[in-house]
Chains A and B, each alone.
Chain A
Amino acid sequence: MLSRLIETIGPRPLGLTRIVVGLAALIRSIVAWRVLIRLTEPETLLTPYVSWTPEPSLLLVVVIVSVWVVAGALFAIGWRVAWTGPALLAAIVATLLIDQQGYSNHLYLMAWLVLLLVIADAGAGLNISRSDRPVVRWGVLLLMLQMSIVYGFSAVTKLNDEFLSGEILAGVVSGGLIAFPEGLRTPEFLSILAGVVIVAELYLALFMWRSRYRPAALVLGLGMHMSITLLMESTLELLVFSLEMLALYPLFLSRERLIVVWDDACRFCAGWVRRFERLDVIDVVEPVGKSDPTSPVPPEEVERSMHLIHMGKVTSGFRAVTRTLEHLVPTLWLAPILRIPGISHLGEWWYRRQARRRSCGIGQPITAQEPP
């Protein structure tokens, strides 16, 4: 157990999380400026946590937001994260503590995320110097736990009569980029929707950890965050919250290598493998050509269909394509859709058709082995 905590893992998912959180911080700096500048106006009531907090002034606001923007941009690109992260964190904490009106749940979350990203050495992957180095597992684990804690408490605190009645949703699903259908604004529907929200949050908190249930969790999370961002007011702030939470999803993806065994005598197959590699932001795909002596699948089987070996499990054909897409960040939302009965049958039919056409000469054989 202890050795698992300190074992090293690939840094790219963590780097991706850092980039998205950094971008969210840059977007959030706009809101921070608006709020802080209002606090400097004489009409605004000040509500400091403690009496000795410095009173907001224009100079102070300019300093906080400038540090925020510069450190946020450098943090996002992965430049000296051990310094730019704490600088960004300082700007966020100053905004949170200068006055009670500076508080937002998503800003408080951002402070935690930046702190945990610094602890986890998030500058190790996908950085401006293009030099990856491994990170330890426990640092990443902290961020994954943070996601479950946020969803978990959010669900538990919604277990009250007011929320379950749909009253809260009736008040908040308005003023967004997309209008909530008026026909659905009934107490019955909103009450059901309230229950669905709680179940969805609990599902995300618990089942993102289980590989079997993760694909559904990914789609559920994406759908939920798109809905709240588009249907509710304060679009910018909800966008920031959604980015923060979605940024944590890649950390749950399997780090086990995806061994894609493919027919390296065929251009059509090479095209697919190339696509997989392009989508492989977190570096998990390992293509193995059928002519490779280490190929774990007999060549005649690979000629029939592509094979995927992942965590000891072998899949082939369209199922192998779906499972591969499930582990690639840009397509992880798509893979569960491809598993839906009907769509999966259509996919199997399409795959078999393509495979037949390939052997009939549409996929031209490669004369010498090319790297995909």
Chain B
Amino acid sequence: MSAWRRSPLVAVVVLVLFLLIQAAVPISRLGDHERADRFGWQMFSVHTEAPRFVVVTNHGTTEISLGDYMARVRGDIDIVDAMPPHLCEIVDGAVRVTWQTGSFEC
């Protein structure tokens, strides 16, 4: 067995450090519970409604499925800023992207 594992000082330092990190990080993630947060062990504690994007083209409008444009749809990722320009770039003929609370001109 390595000598460092037998050291009481190492044991105490690692334990204290571990407890500090394990308490501080989840506590810092406790918010107003509008959105589950990462690194806080908040499994299934709140439900986050994903934004619904509608792409407007010259031929009409289409509500897109987020699963088609994300590797994993997670409520804790804020995609409102990044998704509209991405959709403008990817969807042929897109002129505008709208969602519940705003819109973006391509």
Task: Tell me the A residues contacting B by CB distance below 8 Å.
Answer: 2-3, 5-6, 8, 35-36, 38-39, 42-45, 47, 99-105, 108-109, 119, 121, 124, 133-136, 138-139, 141-142, 145-146, 149-150, 152-154, 156-158, 160, 162-163, 167-169, 171-172, 241
Report Cα–Cα, A138/B71, bound state, in Å.
Answer: 39
Q: Which residues of A contact B33 (CB under 8 A)?
A: 157, 160, 162
B82 to chain A, nearest CB (A): 6
22 contacts between A and B (CB under 8 A): A6-B5, A6-B6, A6-B11, A35-B72, A38-B72, A42-B90, A43-B90, A44-B71, A45-B70, A47-B82, A101-B72, A103-B38, A105-B43, A136-B6, A149-B23, A152-B41, A154-B43, A156-B30, A157-B30, A162-B46, A168-B44, A172-B44
Which of the candidate stretches B12-20, B55-63, B97-105 sits at the interface with the other chain?
B12-20
Q: Which residues of A contact B52 (CB under 8 A)?
A: none
Q: Which residues of A contact B95 (CB under 8 A)?
A: none
Q: Which residues of A contact B45 (CB under 8 A)?
A: 154, 157-158, 160, 163, 168
Report Cα–Cα, A337/B24, bound state, in Å.
Answer: 39
Task: Tell me the B residues contacting A by CB distance below 8 Å.
Answer: 1-2, 5-8, 11-12, 14-15, 18-19, 22-23, 26, 30, 33, 38-47, 68-72, 74, 76-77, 79, 82-83, 86, 90
B47 and A162: CB pair below 8 A?
A: yes
Q: Which residues of B contact A99 (CB under 8 A)?
A: 71
Closest A-B pairs by Cβ, 6 of them = A38-B71, A153-B41, A157-B45, A138-B11, A157-B42, A101-B72
Q: Which residues of A contact B15 (CB under 8 A)?
A: 5, 138, 141-142
Please give me the residue from chain B that is nearest to A170 by CB atom.
B47
Given contacts A5-B12, A121-B1, contact A149 B26 (CB under 8 A): yes
B74 and A139: CB pair below 8 A?
A: no
Q: Dominant SS at the B interface?
A: loop
Report Cα–Cα, A250/B38, bound state, in Å.
Answer: 28
B22 and A45: CB pair below 8 A?
A: no
Please give me the residue from chain B that is nearest to A35 by CB atom.
B71
Report Cα–Cα, A99/B83, bound state, in Å.
Answer: 15
Q: Which residues of A contact B22 (CB under 8 A)?
A: 145-146, 149
Given contacts A8-B1, A136-B11, A162-B33, contact A153 B26 (CB under 8 A): yes
B15 to chain A, nearest CB (A): 6
B9 to chain A, nearest CB (A): 9
Report Cα–Cα, A146/B82, bound state, in Å.
Answer: 35
